[in-house]
């Protein structure tokens, strides 16, 4: 009996080492945990290199761990024939089915059902943060039935991966790094691409008990996203129809607002600050508020007579003020390059990380006042909201 188990484990280890491993399922659980049912494992690229993502499915809640190859082998040695009595290994060369009975065990080998390692095949290398085989990507139209990214969705796909990469890095560097529970709100979630990827990464890759809420004004998008969340069995993901400015935030660890139009970004930033979110991420777009207010200063008169320069200045000033206002509210800020969307060239991302309150309040106030004076700006929406707090 042990011979087949040993052979199965050796085959698994060799497939991981040879990068032919696709996925593994352990079933027929008879161990002491009354809730555990199955383990699903697949390779995943992490910042520390390739890991085996082990998802422990139970009838109450799932947990996940990223294991190194030796840890995964050790897990199989501990549990095969002791707790789990069936196992199915898929490699790009063969499938292996192990059944362990009371007296005998059987190990069957068959032709491969799946052709390529799911997350390591050539065309997937660059996009390693999101599992390309995810059902929600198909349902949202990013991938086709074969799991290939549609040509028209390449930009969005790049953006989804970049966002998850940025989010992962920010969480790693924040006090949320070791948390087991998280609450995330995505303001202006639109078609939900980034909201789904956020949930999938935090819940299914990191095993965090996460609640993700997408807030969106358009009812049809909310309904569609909720349907896909249900079909994906993403139980902690929900979309709510609402206006960002009026949405009542409960506990929120991470506030996201990507391409929320014009001053909706300010409403979202304000909500995040009031909720004391640990991380605030915004990618502003459609900066319409300041442009009509700007009176070109004398020294820039011949520059800002060009519409495009005035427009870019309005964007620059708007996002500079937002960043300063976040700092004044006790956030350390970063401005990053985000991948541009297909329908907007805007690619700036503003990140606020909650820090201890600043002792530079009056300095920042002066800086804000000087910028406003220089461009003759009367009002900026986030500043107005914060002043009414
Ligand atoms: C350009 S889309 C971006 C969607 C998504 N965040 C992304 O980056 O892929 C902006 C979305 O924000 C929604 N939106 C804009 N202003 C809003 C507001 N004040 N309240 C709720 N939703 C809003 C729009 O309906 C739209 O679906």
Evaluate whether 341 touches 321 at the Cβ level (below 8 Å).
no
Q: Does the CB atom of residue 218 touch ligand 1 within 6 A?
A: yes
Ligand 1 centroid from CA 385, angstroms:
20
Structure tokens at 37: 């049912």
Which DSSP string do the residues of 95-110 spell out, in sequence order? EEEEEE-SS-EEEEEE
The answer to whether 278 and 285 have CB atoms below 8 angstroms apart is no
136: its two tokens: 């929600």
In 216-248, which positions are buried (b, 16+ CB within 10 angstroms) versus exposed (e)? Answer: bbeeebbebbbebbeebebebbbbeebebeeee
Contact 182, 211 (CB under 8 A): yes
β-bridge partners, 349: 336
Percent of the chain residues topping a pLDDT of 70: 93
Of 117-121, 206-210, 265-269, 335-339, which range is least confident? 117-121
- Please report how the helices 361-375 and 307-328 are oriented relative to each other, as an axis angle in degrees rounded to 10: 160
Q: Ligand 1: which of 166, 187, 190, 215 to mutate, judged by most atoms within 8 Å of the beta carbon?
A: 190
Which residue out of 153, 162, 187, 188 has the highest number of ligand 1 atoms within 8 Å of its CB and is therefore the one to mutate?
A: 188
Which among 15-24, 145-154, 173-182, 217-226 has the top mean pLDDT? 217-226
Q: Is the CB of 190 under 6 A from ligand 1?
A: yes
Beta pairing, strands 209-216 & 181-187: parallel
- Probe target for ligand 1 pocket from 217, 268, 287, 385, with the most ligand atoms within 8 Å of CB: 217
Q: Is 49 left (phi over 0), alpha (psi -120 to 50) or beta?
A: left
pLDDT in tens, 136-185: 999 999 998 888 999 999 889 989 999 998 998 899 889 998 888 999 99
Ligand 1 centroid vs 183 CA: distance in angstroms?
A: 20
Atom of ligand 1 nearest to the CA of 156: 9
The residue with tokens 């969705």 is 153
> Is residue 118 predicted with pLDDT exceeding 60?
no
Alpha helix positions (H), 277-389: 307-328, 361-375, 381-387
pLDDT of residue 230: 92
Cβ 236 under 6 angstroms from ligand 1: no
% of the chain surpassing 90 pLDDT:
70
3-state helix, strand, coil in the chain (%, to 5): 35, 30, 35
Strand partners, 269: none
pTM, rounded to two decimals: 0.72
The contacts of residue 104 (CB under 8 Å, 6+ apart) are: 1
Neighbours of 83 (CB within 10 A): 16
- Cβ–ligand 1 contact at 173 (below 6 Å): no
């Amino acid at each position: 009996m042990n011979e087949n188990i040993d052979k199965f484990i050796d085959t698994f280890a060799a497939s991981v080492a040879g990068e032919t491993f696709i996925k593994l399922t352990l079933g027929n659980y008879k161990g002491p945990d009354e809730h555990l049912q199955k383990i699903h494992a697949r390779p995943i690229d992490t910042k520390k290199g390739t890991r085996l993502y082990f998802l422990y499915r139970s009838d109450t809640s799932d947990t996940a761990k990223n294991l190194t190859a030796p840890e995964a082998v050790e897990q199989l040695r501990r549990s095969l024939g002791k707790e789990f009595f069936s196992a199915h290994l898929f490699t790009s060369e063969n499938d292996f089915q192990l059944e362990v009975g009371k007296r005998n065990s059987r190990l069957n080998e068959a032709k491969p059902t799946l052709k390529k390692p799911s997350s390591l095949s050539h065309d997937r290398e660059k996009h390693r943060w999101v599992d390309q085989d995810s059902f929600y990507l198909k349902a949202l139209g990013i991938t086709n039935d074969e799991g290939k990214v549609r040509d028209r969705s390449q930009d969005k796909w790049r953006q989804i991966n970049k966002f998850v990469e940025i989010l992962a890095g920010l969480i790693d560097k924040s006090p949320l790094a070791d948390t087991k529970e998280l609450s995330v709100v995505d303001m202006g979630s639109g078609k939900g691409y980034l909201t789904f990827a956020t949930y999938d990464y935090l819940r299914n890759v990191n095993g965090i008990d996460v609640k993700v809420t997408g807030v969106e004004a358009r009812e049809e998008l909310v309904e569609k996203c909720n349907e896909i969340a249900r079909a994906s069995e993403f139980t902690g993901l929900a979309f709510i129809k609402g206006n960002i400015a009026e949405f009542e935030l409960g506990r929120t660890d991470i506030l996201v607002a990507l391409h929320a139009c014009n001053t909706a970004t300010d409403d979202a930033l304000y909500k995040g600050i009031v909720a004391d979110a640990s991380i605030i991420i915004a990618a502003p777009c459609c900066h319409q508020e300041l442009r009509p207010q700007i009176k070109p200063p004398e020294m820039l008169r011949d520059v800002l007579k060009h519409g495009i320069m005035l427009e870019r200045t309005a964007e620059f000033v708007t996002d500079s003020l937002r960043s300063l206002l976040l700092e004044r509210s006790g956030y350390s800020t970063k401005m990053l390059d985000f991948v541009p969307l297909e329908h907007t060239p805007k690619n700036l991302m503003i990140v606020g990380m909650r820090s201890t309150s600043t002792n530079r309040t009056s300095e920042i106030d002066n800086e804000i006042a000087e910028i406003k004076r220089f461009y003759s700006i009367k009002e900026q929406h986030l500043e107005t909201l914060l002043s009414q707090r």
